[in-house]
């Protein structure tokens, strides 16, 4: 293997630049030429591929987003589009790929490998922490801390006015951000897609809590089975029927994706980036480099995208025990 290329794809996450930096500098350290593909699979199809050097990734370890940018690509979903991408890579003599992204990125990488056989190793870049094969994903810790800072501030105003706040965090299919920010922020209730929400039970518990608490914070993952925070707030308000109690909704949205990555995310990203390059040189392919129990592990893409990563049961118990 002489040349590799790296790209970021799908939703951005804090730490992608740190991972990119590790890929580029590890490749150079190992004597490889390394290329950056701009705009993910779309740039691969359009030939937006440029040689990268050590200075290309200077002063980016602390930056959020991705200097290679990201984009959705409908064309890559077609065989013709993937053929264009392959032809562009072969023109440059690229022997391997590092894909930084999440579920959709790895789905595309798996199909691309099966069709054209270019060895590919992924790095788990997504704030949702929903990828099987790694304890944490790149960007998750930063997103949780961003959400937590907002929850802390909202709790101040909730307490000042005796209000009930429903705070919506990202998590269309997974509730990891909701659970960890909820525990850290002392939320009275947390609602996630992984568990069925019992609205009647929630209302009963809220009425009991009002005997000892005048305000509450409820964290809602956007993909909860009862709907988003706005929808759930209206359902709860209708059931409680208390004109003297104010109900408010705050949707944190894409603020959770931005900002400087935490130290934990920078270290995780750097480890995964280095492992991806070393994995390619060792013969790893069609897999993701993650960290489990503090050890680098390689997990086939099929498992990463095919197996559901469970929320730690003790985390859910913590919420129920500590909200009294």
Catalytic machinery residues: 128
What angle separates helix 140-161 from helix 263-281, to the nearest 10 degrees? Answer: 160
- Beta-bridged to residue 101, according to DSSP, are 124
CB burial of 147-161 (b: ≥16 within 10 Å; e: otherwise) equals bbbbbeebbeebeee
Neighbours of 137 (CB within 10 A): 29
33-37 vs 96-101, strand pairing mode: unpaired
Q: Which residues are within 8 A (CB) of 300 and not within 5 positions of it... i.e. 6 or more apart? A: 286, 287, 288
Collapsing DSSP to helix, strand or coil, 52 comes out as strand
- Asked whether the beta carbons of 124 and 11 are under 8 A apart, the reply is no
d(CA 82, CA 222) in angstroms, rounded, equals 33
Rounded Cα–Cα distance for residues 277 and 30 (Å) = 9
Are the C-beta atoms of 169 and 219 separated by less than 8 Å?
Answer: yes
CA-CA distance, 264 to 58, in Å (whole number)?
Answer: 20
């Amino acid at each position: 293997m002489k040349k590799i290329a790296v790209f970021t794809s799908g939703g951005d996450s804090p730490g992608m630049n740190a991972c990119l930096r590790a890929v580029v500098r590890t490749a150079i350290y190992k004597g490889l030429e390394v290329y950056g593909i701009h705009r993910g699979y779309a740039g691969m199809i359009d030939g937006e591929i440029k040689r990268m050097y050590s200075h290309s990734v200077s002063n980016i370890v602390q930056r959020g987003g991705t200097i290679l940018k990201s984009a959705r690509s409908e064309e890559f979903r077609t065989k013709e589009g993937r053929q264009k991408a392959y032809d562009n890579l072969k023109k440059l003599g690229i022997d391997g790929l590092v894909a930084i992204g999440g579920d959709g990125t790895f789905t595309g990488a798996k199909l691309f490998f099966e069709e054209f056989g270019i060895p590919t190793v992924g790095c788990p870049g997504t704030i949702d922490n929903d990828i099987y094969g790694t304890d944490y994903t790149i960007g998750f810790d930063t997103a949780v801390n961003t959400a937590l800072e907002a929850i802390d501030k909202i709790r101040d105003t909730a307490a000042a006015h005796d209000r009930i706040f429903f705070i919506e965090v990202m998590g269309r299919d997974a509730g990891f951000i909701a659970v960890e920010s909820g525990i850290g922020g002392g939320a009275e209730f947390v609602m996630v897609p992984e568990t069925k929400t019992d609205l009647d039970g929630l209302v009963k518990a809220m009425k009991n809590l009002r005997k000892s608490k005048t305000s509450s914070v409820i964290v809602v993952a956007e993909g909860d089975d009862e709907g988003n925070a706005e929808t759930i707030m209206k359902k709860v308000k209708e059931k409680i029927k208390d004109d003297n109690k104010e109900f408010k909704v705050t949707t944190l949205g894409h603020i959770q994706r931005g900002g400087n990555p935490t130290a934990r995310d920078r270290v995780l990203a750097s480890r995964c980036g280095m492992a991806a390059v070393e994995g390619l040189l060792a013969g790893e392919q069609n897999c993701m480099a993650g960290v489990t129990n503090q050890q680098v592990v390689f997990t086939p893409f099929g498992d990463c995208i095919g197996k559901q990563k469970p929320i730690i049961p003790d985390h859910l118990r913590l919420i129920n025990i500590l909200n009294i």
